[in-house]
Structures are given as structure tokens and as C-alpha cells.
């Protein structure tokens, strides 16, 4: 029976790398995959999934209001799909998570979602909340804080490297805007010794 998987982590844990590797594994065995990514995330280019280690692939984009069930069903009829892989899954709407569950339940296609669990204020993203509630399998992809502990949280920085407390939930950025921290250092807003800041300069 096909399942919905939610692979979550803090920033810079290798979610996109894992997604691209999974897609490669399916394609290596002659199966087709559908890659989806949020249209608002253009860090690797619109309609592209890119990893920090240099891997990338073309992907279809999704936006709020898109019917992902209809899109997957149409593609599956044209060319049977072995797997649907969703990057930046935190940006899914709850309705879209339900649509992806129907893909697994009714079409028998595994759906692998990769995304952040919480935002810079420690609050769940809507897509992540729905996936945590509905996915069959939850898997944490681990990364580390500057102190060596497991990082589960993320802070957002301004242009001078100061931690921001307020702002919109969504602000696209990478290592120049976000730092992954353990819960203690997130709570203390401690991004590490001054030599850690060199990555933002």
C-alpha cells in the first residue's frame, strides 16, 4: 500500500539532496517521478530543486489553490508514476496535503514530502501541521547546532546578522538569512561564537 511520507528538519539538513537522491533511485530503475516545488521558492531558479552540494533538477511548481490531485492524476494517466516528490512541503495548504493523501490512497503512488517543520518563531507551517497529522510515516532529517547538539529550530537574521523576532512567516532565504539551532540556543537567540558569523559576511 502506498504511503505519504513527511521528511522534515531545520534548515540546511539536506532535505533537497535526499529528495533528489530518491528521485534518482526511482528513475535508475526505469520508473517515472513527478517533482514538485513551491513557486515562491526561487533560490535555485523557478521550477528547479537545488541542493547546497550542487545537485539540481527540473520540477513543476505549485501555488496556493492548485489542485495537486488533478495534476498528478492527469500525469499518471499519460505516463505511470512511480513516486511523487514534493520539496518545500511546508508551503502546501491543508487541502493540498489531503489531495496528496488521495494520490497515495486511490492511485497507489507513494508521496514523499520534504520540508521545514517550524518557522523562525517556532510555529508550525500550515503544510507541516497537516503533514504531521496525516502522513503515514514521519522522518526527521538531522542537522546540528553550532554547539554540536541536534538542531531542531531556526532563527532569521537581518542584514547585520542580528536575530529577528517578528516578521512574515515566509521570507525566502538560505544561509545568509537563517541559522539552525538546538532548542536551547534558539530560546537564548545565541547563534554561536563570533567566528560563526563569517558565513554571513
Active-site residue list: 88
Pairing outcome for strands 48-50 and 56-58: antiparallel
* Torsion angles phi and psi, residue 114, rounded to 5: -130, 130
Taking CA 55 as the corner, what is the angle to CA 33 and CA 142, rounded to the nearest 5 degrees?
90
Q: Give just the sign of the alpha carbon dihedral 142, 93, 103, 69.
A: negative
Distance CA 159, CA 177 (A): 8
Distance CA 174, CA 178 (A): 6
Which residues have a Cβ under 8 Å from the Cβ of 144 and sit 6 or more positions away?
Answer: 150, 151, 180
Contact 64, 98 (CB under 8 A): no
Contact 134, 4 (CB under 8 A): yes
Contact 22, 85 (CB under 8 A): yes
Amino acid at each position: 500500500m502506498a504511503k505519504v511520507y513527511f521528511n522534515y528538519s531545520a534548515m540546511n539538513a539536506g532535505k533537497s539532496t535526499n529528495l533528489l537522491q530518491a528521485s534518482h533511485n526511482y528513475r535508475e530503475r526505469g520508473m517515472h517521478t513527478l517533482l514538485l516545488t513551491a513557486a515562491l521558492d526561487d533560490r535555485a531558479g523557478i521550477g528547479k530543486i537545488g541542493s547546497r552540494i550542487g545537485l539540481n533538477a527540473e520540477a513543476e511548481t505549485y501555488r496556493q489553490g492548485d489542485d495537486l490531485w488533478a495534476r498528478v492524476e492527469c500525469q499518471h494517466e499519460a505516463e505511470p508514476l512511480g513516486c511523487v516528490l514534493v520539496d518545500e512541503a511546508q508551503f502546501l495548504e491543508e487541502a493540498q496535503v489531503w489531495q496528496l493523501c488521495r494520490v497515495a490512497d486511490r492511485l497507489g503512488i507513494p508521496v514523499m514530502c520534504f520540508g521545514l517543520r517550524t518557522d523562525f518563531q517556532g510555529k508550525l507551517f500550515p503544510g507541516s501541521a497537516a503533514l504531521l497529522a496525516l502522513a503515514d510515516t514521519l522522518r526527521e532529517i538531522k542537522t546540528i547546532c553550532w554547539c554540536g547538539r541536534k538542531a531542531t529550530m531556526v532563527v532569521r537574521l537581518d542584514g547585520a546578522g542580528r536575530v529577528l523576532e517578528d516578521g512574515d512567516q515566509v521570507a525566502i532565504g538560505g544561509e545568509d538569512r537563517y541559522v539552525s539551532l538546538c532548542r536551547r540556543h534558539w530560546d537564548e537567540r545565541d547563534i554561536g561564537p563570533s567566528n560563526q558569523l563569517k558565513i554571513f559576511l
